[in-house]
Structure formats: structure tokens, C-alpha cells
Amino acid sequence: MRIVILSRNPKLYSTRRLVEAAEKRGHEVLVVDHLKCDIVIEKKSPKIYYKGEYISNVDAIIPRIGASVTFYGTAVIRQFEMMKVFTSVSSQALTRSRDKLSSLQILARAGVGLPKTVFTNYTKDVEHVVDSVGGAPLVLKLLEGTQGLGVVLAETKNAATSVLEAFNGLGARVIAQEFIKEAGGADIRAFVVDGKVIGAMKRQGKEGEFRSNLHRGGNATIIELTDEEEKTALKATKALGLGVAGVDMLQSSKGPLVLEVNSSPGLEGIEVATGKNIAKEIIRYLEIHVDE
């Protein structure tokens, strides 16, 4: 197969591992910076122009699209789809997963467990928002935040109302979410490929930090999911239509609660924690589905 990896940096761990895994299985790999692609739209003849030539004879793509460039990255994926190229993450699924509010609504409709969440359009009744998620402490998240950025734990009702008013004043869209104390600053990342959980880790935030993101100094250890956790991860992935996903969940007294479904999950943390060759599983996923 000829595989294109859409990535802005070929030196990133995830990109390098995917290239290595694909080449080891005998495939030709091209790393393409999606922001440098020109999309040529023409009746029945979609094309992508990159570095002086048209990209052709591609069997599959693996999108590694950063959150800040979702709009253009999605357009490039869509163009490959129009060229009848298989993608590990569809343009529609990427769009769904990146819209935090929409994705939560889709997950709720599918019956996936979630922390109680409230979104408002700059309401002045911020006290009602706080009360609606069970009061303080509560978590406030910017809709555009990633890797734990734009996430605040408000310990008291006064703090929560002050932060909400400040965000409203800045015109920043924010969601309020109940704080799951029993999670103890930890969450679970389940890595799903082609409808199967192929690895899972527990991420623990550093001392005094409620966010468990590895980018913020957390640590990860391998974990075996319960049947309910595995079922929740698969249901969430299916609801959003993702072939490859990282499902972040909290362990709560109410069962597993999904925080987010990541459509471009990093490979380093999960591969190091589990010792599993996740990149190989993604390449095998392409092999199974190309030319189906």
C-alpha cells in the first residue's frame, strides 16, 4: 500500500512510530503537512497539490490533525475521501469529536455515561449554572481547550461564579462540569482501533493537580479495564464514528464517565505504559479495510 500520514512534523513520536510500523510491513509511506496542501476542486476530478506535484496513487491516509488547524485539516481529509482514499479517521468523525459540545450531546444521546455538564450562551445567571452541576467544587472548561489548557477547578461557589463571569466578559465559550472527587485526580485512556480496545492506561495527575494530562506532568501505568469500562469506550467511539480513538474516562461511584473522545490520540504515552505496539495495530486496521 501507499500510505499518506497527514502530520505537520515528521519528527513527532506518533508520526515516527506510524512510519516505522508501516515500512516494517512493506508499505510505502509519505508524510504530508496538511497545511501546505492545495485543494483543487473540479467536477469529478478532485486533486491535492503538494510541494510542486499532485498526490496520486494513495491507498490510505492516517490523519494526525492538531486541534488548532481542524478546519483546514478536515478539508484535506474530505478531499482524499472524494479521491476514494480510505482514511483511518473520517472528516465527519473528526469534526464531531472536535466540537466538545456537539460530541457530548451525541454521547449523551447514545447512552454513554458523562459527568453532569452545563453550557450557556453567556448567561448572567451564573449561580444557576453552578447549582445545575451540583455546586462547588466544579470544573470549568473552555470549548477550544486541549491537553488540559483552559481547564479550571473552582473550589468554591464564589470562585466559580467569578471565573464564569470573567470568561463571559471575554466572550469565551465555556462549559461547567461536575467534579468527580472519587476519581482522585486520575483518569483512564482507552485506545480503540477498529472497534476493539487494544490498550489502556491510568493517568494520575501530579501532586496537587486535578488534571491528569501527561503534558502537565502526570504519569501513566497500564490498567486492565472492567467490562463496563470497555463497553463504555467502545460505545463512545462508535457513537462518534471513529475508527481510531483515545477515550478518556473517569472512574466514579456511578460507573465510568466519559470526559472526551480524542480523534488524534498520541501514541507515546500508551505505548510506553502498556508496552504494546499500537502503531502496528493502526497499520493493520488500514490493511483490513483498504479495497473492502
Q: What is the pLDDT of residues 163-196, one digit of tens each?
A: 888 888 888 888 899 999 888 888 999 999 999 9
**Which of the listed residues 155, 179, 203 is the one where a domain comes to its end?**
179
| Helix 100-109 with 91-98: angle, nearest 10 deg | 100
Which pTM was predicted? Answer: 0.88
Q: Dihedral sign, CA of 206, 207, 212, 213? A: negative
Residue 187 shares a structural domain with residue 278: yes
Residue 164 shares a structural domain with residue 186: no
Question: Which contiguous run of DSSP H or E holds residue 285?
Answer: helix 278-289
Domain containing 74: what range?
2-96
292, part of any domain? no
Give the HSE-up count for residue 144: Cα atoms under 13 Å, Cβ half-sphere. 8
According to DSSP, the β-strands at 60-63 and 86-87 are parallel
pLDDT attached to residue 278: 97
How far apart are alpha carbons 77 and 68 in whole angstroms? Answer: 15
Give the max Cα distance, the chain. 60
pLDDT attached to residue 243: 96
pLDDT attached to residue 207: 62
3-class DSSP state of 75: helix
pLDDT attached to residue 209: 54
105, part of any domain? no
Count the neighbouring beta carbons within 10 Å of the beta carbon of residue 279: 22
pLDDT attached to residue 268: 94
pLDDT attached to residue 151: 83
pLDDT attached to residue 227: 97
pLDDT attached to residue 204: 85
pLDDT attached to residue 89: 97
**Which of the listed residues 96, 129, 154 is the one where a domain comes to its end?**
96
Weakly modelled stretches of the chain, pLDDT under 70: 144-149, 206-218, 292
pLDDT attached to residue 145: 54
103, part of any domain? no
